[in-house]
Structure 1
């Protein structure tokens, strides 16, 4: 037996395996909550987001990155790579309608990114918001969890966020020092430290911030930074943002600003159109300006906290070979009228005046931003979260990976992509094998960016609102309303309905949507989603 040759062969095999593991990128997926399309300054907004701007400058901005229009469905789509109805989360986690697409909990048939990457040697962690209906994310492929299992409720209450598995202990904070965005970042950094105990294994971190979801909560010093910024109102802000977006190349130079969007209140007993800012009373304008200032402060704070994570990656020498993707779960939230709500999600509104303004956003308060500002956050699109017009389903997308992206730094890409692409992307860059029983409808985002992609068809449904995106065409409809058809090569703002001009196109795309709906547990659409903010559908046959 030739021992030196045998040992040399073994050494080469070990070295090859070690090198292969080292070459696998770490993966960081960052999800904001209720962030509008134009809120980031690198997408035309006035909110200061230097960290995300830097990632955009060193990576790629995606101007047609789609979500599902709502929080639970988008999170299910991101983590499982499936359209949400296919895995039981066609609506929310609050109720089970007894139908496969609307069970209110992610299907055990689905595999999460953590479950797929595990066999490829990855360690997976979650810090932030889960919202997939199961009681313990560490039973869904993740080693460690810190955050909330449900929707964001409180940002100053440490008891709202939990640590799992059950034997783990969350960080403790001195009285008055807790803020959820900071705590989510603290625990994310703890998880990265834990991951580095096994340097031969790459990691996946899902960093799912609650911000800027209501309630509007932010530290006072952050609110003060924006206290005077929004006195000009939402009409002025929409104009300013659109001009910057055109100059950046986020939208085309001929993009028209949509009319102010409509709204419907909690329970759908009233509808209306967002009012002209100048028609509001001075007291109302001051109240609303403070709401938007708090919203901006939440985004600003999130960006600063993300900076701590980026600094940590750089210090560990991991930044260049970490695939980072940033997006939001849906467009900005209109709930439930132009003035926003207070106390709880409802039609209750308090007009804050004088000294009351200074207390807004503090512990114990509960406000939303309202539909007027949400419309501005989604500039220049129509509508908001809940809907599948562009304001509901188009989010800012940023991809950064110096070791893997071939496109020019700072590039702006206008090809459509979708949150369902993030699991196929993780599979492709990690070399993992997908052995799930459900085929994956998404594509490898890195391959698409580096080498171009083929024309694809994307589908949407939420609360009866439905859409198909096929090349430059989009077919879209409100619940119980006729289809509208738009040519996105000239009209992504959905202003010129061509459904009567091209009825044959409508028929073809509607047929495709019907087939998708049947195959993905979407249809028949429920008559009653069992939530107080929606009326049951009494017009269905």
Structure 2
């Protein structure tokens, strides 16, 4: 979809007026660092400027190059599992969230016996904010952001909703805390979220440090973009790729507005800024995402689905201006941030404290991680040990390499005139059962299967996977309850209170 929108440029002008005069009056009064954790949704490896010069992301590129680009930062193949990893510090197969994503009528959520990162940070004196997409369950209050440690929440509970109508299945999914927001119909969500994030920053009590979790809707389907950004990519003839590229640049401008606000309000020098995607870009042709030259895409165990663009920036980071090739995983953010500010992690947690790796470039304590263990048909699992990656069973499709559409030719032609709410099943068809072994250091694009040449390594890693599977929690698969979840029972809004 292409439409006009309130320009993010207006936010940039507004933030420039926050601290007219002596900005030192706004200097942070806390010794603990503020934490800004920004998540892009479905941003592919080839969807950011520092990996692809055809994408305009000057703010993200500058922040990344001034900080540390994390070249081996791993996430889960789809968004609910990754967000669960961020929030809990546990691999999804230990939470029961390893199989696909939570459905909007599914009476389930991230299990309540786990204490989440915002809850732990509140114990350390932090004020906690969330702006954007949740997708970790909402059928009852205790599953919602307000019930899981966020002092302030503005955003939505579900997944693929309209960028302008903020609806899923014809019903509203946008609220501040528990109060539906009916006033933003027609306003692009990226603009709404950055505006609300800045409002929270302006109103923040600077005696306390803050943790702001900012998971943008961008650049998830249904793809839509204000005309200004669409026009910036006239050299891309494939319509989906052109729209998606504009969405990425709109998000980049939103990040710029947040950074300017942090600077003008005196927070910037004491803020750790983290940026990451939640999974690779989808490969379905009407989405426009791309992970070239990595193999596969969103929903797959290939690197294209699990190796995410990410970086850190901030004065706490001692060694900057380089690409860090040490291994980290989404589960590592929880303990690294918590222990940085004086907390203690659960000793059984999968996440490791990788702070010294992030800030000084020390060797990562992480020597292995589980890409996923999904026991549900089509079952598949993958493990990284050192430089080697083992895949057993279904790795997912596409199982090859999807190049970006040529800028001078048509990959396909599609014009999106309205918000479409569902993705296709293009990515979900599994390949045949197989065993794959790759040396990711030498072969990051997964071209050379070494399984037949290195049977002892396959055996070693298979034994390790079997050991790790002893901690598997069966995947949560509860029947959807559309009648109970029906938004018409809650004033036309997707709401908690039905399970």
Shorter-chain TM range is 0.7 to 0.9
Whole-Å separation in 1 of the counterparts to 2:283 and 2:181: 33
Whole-Å separation in 1 of the counterparts to 2:464 and 2:71: 25
Q: Report what 2:24 is aligned to.
A: none
Tell me if structure 1 keeps the 8 A contact 2:108–2:478: no
Whole-Å separation in 1 of the counterparts to 2:466 and 2:76: 17
Task: Return the match for 1:34 from 42, 45, 53.
Answer: 42
Tell me if structure 2 keeps the 8 A contact 1:89–1:104: no
Whole-Å separation in 1 of the counterparts to 2:445 and 2:128: 39
User: Is residue 162 from structure 1 mapped to residue 174 from structure 2 by the alignment?
Assistant: yes
Q: Report what 2:322 is aligned to.
A: 411
Whole-Å separation in 2 of the counterparts to 1:413 and 1:381: 18
Task: Return the match for 2:133 from 124, 129, 134.
Answer: 129
Q: Report what 2:201 is aligned to.
A: 192
Whole-Å separation in 2 of the counterparts to 1:509 and 1:85: 17
CA offsets, 1:174-228, max 9 Å, x none?
x74x001111111111222232xx22110000000011111111111211111x3
User: Is residue 513 from structure 1 mapped to residue 465 from structure 2 by the alignment?
Assistant: yes
C-alpha displacement of 1:320: 1.8
Q: Report what 2:236 is aligned to.
A: 230
Which has a greater percent of helix?
1
Q: Report what 1:446 is aligned to.
A: 355
CA offsets, 1:485-526, max 9 Å, x none?
11123111111111111111111111111222221325xx89
Instruction: Look up the SS of the partner of 2:71 in the other structure.
Output: strand
Largest Rg, 1 or 2: 1
User: After alignment, is 80-89 or 121-130 more displaced?
Assistant: 80-89
Instruction: Look up the SS of the partner of 1:324 in the other structure.
Output: strand
Whole-Å separation in 2 of the counterparts to 1:183 and 1:33: 16
Correspondences of 1:92-491 after superposition (within 5 Å): 92-94=101-103, 104-135=108-139, 136-158=144-166, 160-166=172-178, 168=179, 170=181, 172-173=183-184, 176=186, 178-195=187-204, 198-226=205-233, 228-231=234-237, 289-335=238-284, 339-340=285-286, 368-369=287-288, 374=289, 377-402=290-315, 404-407=316-319, 409-434=320-345, 436=346, 439-449=348-358, 450=360, 451-454=362-365, 456-461=367-372, 462=374, 464-479=379-394, 481-491=433-443
Whole-Å separation in 2 of the counterparts to 1:71 and 1:104: 15
Tell me if structure 2 keeps the 8 A contact 1:106–1:133: yes
Q: Report what 2:449 is aligned to.
A: 497
C-alpha displacement of 1:104: 4.3
Q: Report what 1:74 is aligned to.
A: 82
Tell me if structure 2 keeps the 8 A contact 1:387–1:478: no
TM-score for the superposition, normalised by structure 2:
0.76
Whole-Å separation in 2 of the counterparts to 1:50 and 1:161: 31
C-alpha displacement of 1:157: 1.0
Whole-Å separation in 1 of the counterparts to 2:34 and 2:366: 29
Whole-Å separation in 2 of the counterparts to 1:481 and 1:446: 38
C-alpha displacement of 1:56: 0.8
Whole-Å separation in 1 of the counterparts to 2:105 and 2:240: 34
Call closer, same or farther: CA 1:458–1:472 in 2, change over 3 Å.
Answer: same
Q: Report what 1:10 is aligned to.
A: none
TM-score for the superposition, normalised by structure 1:
0.70
Instruction: Look up the SS of the partner of 1:518 in the other structure.
Output: helix
Whole-Å separation in 2 of the counterparts to 1:158 and 1:452: 44
Call closer, same or farther: CA 1:380–1:398 in 2, change over 3 Å.
Answer: same
Whole-Å separation in 1 of the counterparts to 2:29 and 2:98: 37
Gaps of 5+ in 2: 1-26, 395-431, 481-499
C-alpha displacement of 1:468: 0.7
C-alpha displacement of 1:455: 5.1
Q: Report what 1:254 is aligned to.
A: none
Instruction: Look up the SS of the partner of 1:303 in the other structure.
Output: helix
Whole-Å separation in 2 of the counterparts to 1:81 and 1:34: 21
Whole-Å separation in 1 of the counterparts to 2:175 and 2:336: 28
Whole-Å separation in 2 of the counterparts to 1:224 and 1:424: 43
Instruction: Look up the SS of the partner of 1:189 in the other structure.
Output: helix
Tell me if structure 2 keeps the 8 A contact 1:31–1:208: yes
CA offsets, 1:270-304, max 9 Å, x none?
xxxxxxxxxxxxxxxxxxx0111000011110110
C-alpha displacement of 1:45: 4.2
Tell me if structure 1 keeps the 8 A contact 2:152–2:177: yes
Tell me if structure 2 keeps the 8 A contact 1:40–1:48: yes
Tell me if structure 2 keeps the 8 A contact 1:95–1:530: no
- Equivalenced residue count is 402
Tell me if structure 2 keeps the 8 A contact 1:455–1:470: no
C-alpha displacement of 1:60: 0.3
